[in-house]
Amino acid sequence: MSWFGAIFILIACTWIGFKVAQKLTERPRQLRQLKVALQSFEAEIMYGVSPLAEASEKISQQLPSPISHLFKQFSELLKNGERDAEKAWRKSLENIWGLTAMAEEEKEVMLQFGATLGKHEKMQQQKHIRLAMVHLEKEEEEAKDKQNRYEKMAKTLGFLSGLLLIILFL
């Protein structure tokens, strides 16, 4: 086996390990951003008089990608004639979920939250937002724990896997 091939294998495996570690790092960050978005959403609903589409667009402008895409797409679907806020939320969530580092648990929380959008009066909607934030807080704690436990291991495992492959091919 040539040295070029060995170096390529080592770099590729190490890169994979770093990508796994990056996903572990991104998940808590994106959960914090999602909680901030829900807080902004709550403020818009409680104190603003903006319809859901305008409130979502404002929130999308305040957040980084990929969370901003969720609210931007939700806003566009509502502006383009989608009458059912739950359907628009579900479509938006399905379209951007692959871009996030979040797990299925968070998706389920957000789908449950979307099922309540536009169907309740302000105080009831606020309760649903806060409930979603409590669930996301729990998920964020779990994500931080996973990050602390597995991030360094993923990086090391990627590198060591590359070394093992090189040894096996010798």
Per-residue pLDDT of the chain (170 residues; tens, 9 = 90+): 588 988 999 999 999 999 999 999 999 999 999 999 999 988 888 887 778 888 899 999 999 989 999 999 999 998 988 888 889 999 999 999 999 989 899 999 999 998 888 777 888 888 999 999 999 999 999 999 999 999 999 999 999 999 999 999 88
Q: Phi and psi (nearest 5°) for 40?
A: -65, -40
Start-to-end Cα distance in the chain? 6
Backbone dihedral region for residue 121 (phi beyond 0: left; psi -120 to 50: alpha; all else: beta): beta
pLDDT for the residue numbered 1: 58
Angle (nearest 5°) at CA 62 between 84 and 124: 45
| pTM, entire model | 0.84
Angle (nearest 5°) at CA 129 between 122 and 59: 90
Residue that has been written with the tokens 């502006």 in this structure: 79
Domain limits, the chain: 3-169
User: DSSP letters of the chain?
Assistant: --HHHHHHHHHHHHHHHHHHHHHHHHHHHHHHHHHHHHHHHHHHHHH----HHHHHHHHHHHS-TTHHHHHHHHHHHHHTT---HHHHHHHHHHHHGGGS---HHHHHHHHHHHTTTTSS-HHHHHHHHHHHHHHHHHHHHHHHHHHHHHHHHHHHHHHHHHHHHHHHH-
CA dihedral 110→42→135→102, nearest 10 degrees, is 50
Length of the chain: 170
pLDDT for the residue numbered 53: 86
User: Rounded CA gap, 84 and 119, in Å?
Assistant: 10
